[in-house]
Structure 1
Amino acid sequence: MRNLFTALLFFVFITYGNAQEKQAGPVLDNYGEVWSVTNPDFKTDVNAEFKVVFDIMTSPESHTEVNKTIETAARFLNMHAQSGVPLSQLKVALVVHNKASKDIIQNEAYETRFGVSNPNYDLVKELMDAGVEVILCGQSSKSRNFPKKDLIPGAKISLSAMTALIQLQNDGYQLIKF
């Protein structure tokens, strides 16, 4: 009987523990783990269009660490998709500038400068594959010497981060800055 009780407790612990784990997906399977929130008081409108622009300007000091502010976009996509918002209703843009400029360059250019592959490369590619628009500030491109040819394919250059942020907000995107 004691072994049965122990096994039952173990099963409850494992079941409860798994239910409380953060999970990635369904949009990005390798990035953007989020907690499931069951029955929130403030309900998510799964019929709404969510247009958001993330202002990405900081980057980790380590050249081998993923930029968590970029990964926030993956969390945004995954948490809303997990909550029933269709991907077609999630419009996401990243405006990248300042120290974060290096985080959206191709592996070869990153290796030349920092001696390792870009730890953000796969994350940025998966975000773009999910429809996220990645925009580099043209002023940062010039001042930090990251020409278009060095960018991860699909990334765009704007006149400036300020310009891109204003235009996206004029188009109904809500600014999220961390």
Structure 2
Amino acid sequence: MKHNYFSLLFFGLICLAGNAQKKQTGPVIEKYGAVWSVENPDFKTDINAEFKVVFDIMNSPESHTEINRSIETAARFLNMHVQGGVPQEQLKVALVVHNKASKDVIDNEAYESRFGVPNPSYDMVKTLMDAGVEVILCGQSSNSRKYPKNELISGTKISLSAMTALIQLQNEGYRLIKF
């Protein structure tokens, strides 16, 4: 009986140690973008490189009270790389927003008038912008979905189209990540 007790205790300690690691946010975006720490990866991150990335954001949750996890990917990207030793100044991030995700970059007043609740992605988008993330809304989506510039989260830019913004950013050396 004593042997089983110690075996269970030992097993329990191993499980606790294995589960001790938790996803962490920050240091760039404190409230969003939790990531796992990866110790000693075989494929090393070049911490001296500049990382220019554009996220193609077109989908959004059906629920009007849920944040857009595709947009949160930008927070994960920033937090993960800075946690991994890449200086924040070497991270250039842009979001090209269109289609269903267009609603996620309208301000709280416009969102609430349409959906009855404040925009759940508002704080996240503002925090990303404050961290230097460029947010670009497709002009075609802006017009077809009736989200004029004056209803957008302050700082959001409108492009001719998502296609145009994606091409231009890639011509500037940004790498496309589509979710």
Matching of residues 9-28 of structure 1 within 5 Å? 14=16, 16-19=18-21, 21-28=22-29
Cα deviation digits, residues 145-176 of structure 1 (max 9, x gap): 00010000010000000000000000000000
Cα offsets for 1:16-48 (capped at 9, x unmatched): 4332x1111111011001111000000000000
Return the TM-score normalized by structure 2: 0.92
Note if 1:49 corresponds to 2:59: no
Q: Identity over the aligned pairs, expressed in percent?
A: 73
Give the aligned partner of residue 147 of structure 2.
Answer: 146
**In structure 2, the residue corresponding to 1:166 is in which secondary structure?**
helix
Cα shift readout 1:107-133 (whole Å, capped 9, x = no counterpart): 000000000010000100010000000
Q: 1:172 & 1:39 partners in 2: Cα distance?
A: 28
- What does residue 65 of structure 1 align with? 66
- For residue 20 of structure 2, give the secondary structure of its aligned residue in structure 1: helix
SS at match of 1:163: helix
Match of 2:112 in 1: 111
Q: Distance in 1 between matches of 2:166 and 2:77?
A: 18
Q: Which residue of 2 aligns with 1:39?
A: 40
Q: Which amino acid aligns with 1:29?
A: E
- Structure 1 CA distance for aligned equivalents of residues 160 and 43 of structure 2: 39
How many pairs align?
A: 175
Partner residue, 1:89 = 90
Match of 1:169 in 2: 170
Q: Distance in 2 between matches of 1:112 and 1:157?
A: 21
Tell me if 1:76 matches 2:73.
no
Matched to 2:174, the amino acid is Y
| Partner Cα distance (2:166, 2:13) in 1 | 50
User: In structure 2, what residue type is equivalent to 1:34?
Assistant: V
Distance 2:72 2:151 in 1: 21
| Alignment partners' CA distance in 2, 1:160 and 1:95 | 9
Alpha-carbon distance in 2 for matches of 1:8, 1:106? 53
**Match of 1:157, as an amino acid?**
I
* TM-score in terms of structure 1 length: 0.92
CA distance in 2, matches of 1:170, 1:70: 22
Q: Which residue of 2 aligns with 1:101?
A: 102
Q: 2: distance between equivalents of 1:105 and 1:77?
A: 23
- Distance (whole Å) between structure 2 residues aligned to residue 47 and residue 141 of structure 1: 38
Distance 1:153 1:163 in 2: 21
